[in-house]
Amino acid sequence: MRLEALTMMRLLSRFRPKLLGSVWTGHIRKWSDIDIHVFTNTVSALTSMLDEQNPLYTWGDL
């Protein structure tokens, strides 16, 4: 999961990604997910980039 997180963080590099949660701490369980916070002034810049790259993602709180 850390390799997948690293790949995603490289993809999101212009949004200053921060890895959080169980993948960051190493306490991964069967149902763990990869939590990455990003920073942007416009959500559309982020969603446009994600839609172009087509990774699997879900939204937390906006």
Burial label for 11, CB within 10 Å (0-12, 13-18, 19+), is middle
More confident residue, 55 or 4: 4
Asked if residues 22 and 32 have their Cβ atoms less than 8 Å apart, the reply is yes
For residues 5 and 16, what is the distance between their CA atoms, to the nearest angstrom? 14
What's this model's pTM, rounded to 2 decimal places? 0.75
pLDDT in tens, 6-59: 999 999 999 999 999 899 998 888 888 889 999 999 989 988 888 888 766 666
What's the pLDDT score for residue 18?
96
What's the pLDDT score for residue 51?
85
For residues 43 and 23, what is the distance between their CA atoms, to the nearest angstrom? 25
What's the pLDDT score for residue 38?
93
Domain boundaries, the chain: 2-53
